[in-house]
Amino acid sequence: MFVSYIGAVVRQNVPITIDNWRDKALKDAKDIIWNDIQTTFVLDEERKSYVLRVAGKIHRGFRSHLSNFYLKDREGNTNAEPPKIYQHYISKDEWSAFVSKRSDPAFVNISTANRERASNPKHPYKKSRMGYARLEQQIRKDTQADQPLGRHILWKEARVNKDGVVDNENVKKVVELCETIEQSSETQEGNKLKYKLLNKLLNSTK
């Protein structure tokens, strides 16, 4: 329900023509999304960055969904009108711009290359349709933890097999690096650098 709500708020406030979720022009839209979600769910301010990352993934996923299922009809012809189910979110001008870009040969080539890379990831996610939010909720429930889990812990737990073992060599290397960084300096400045390095490392393994 939580993720579905985020998706609805994102579709209401972010056009499908937006390519870069980090675009500074989205600041106001992101504030609206966060404030809207806070009025419906009880969330600490420290969860804002995480929720907005989820919102960004949902936005990308929605655009991919439109490309895969609505960009063309059964005969392979481009649809001139936005899908009826989403017409209250997508204007005809937005749809035209979206279709134009997604039909561009340069975009198609990049999309094909990304799809091939995604089909054989170096660090495979092993929790099927369970996202990080539900995974964290399950782990905290099982361990009775009362604090948010570190991002590196979630990253590892999302890639263990059914026996709880890391069986991928690429994943093992990242886990070992994370553990090395985690065991480094305990000073305030050291902690800032430590978590900056962890985030940089994990961002590079998506």
Does the structure show a pLDDT above 70 at 142?
yes
pLDDT band at 188 (very low <50, low <70, confident <90, very high): low
pLDDT band at 189 (very low <50, low <70, confident <90, very high): low
- What CA–CA distance (Å, rounded) separates 21 from 30? 10
Which pLDDT does position 123 carry in this prediction? 86
Does the structure show a pLDDT above 80 at 154?
yes
Mapped onto helix, strand or coil, the DSSP state of residue 78 is strand
**Domain ranges in the chain?**
2-118, 132-203
- Residue type, position 139, single letter: I
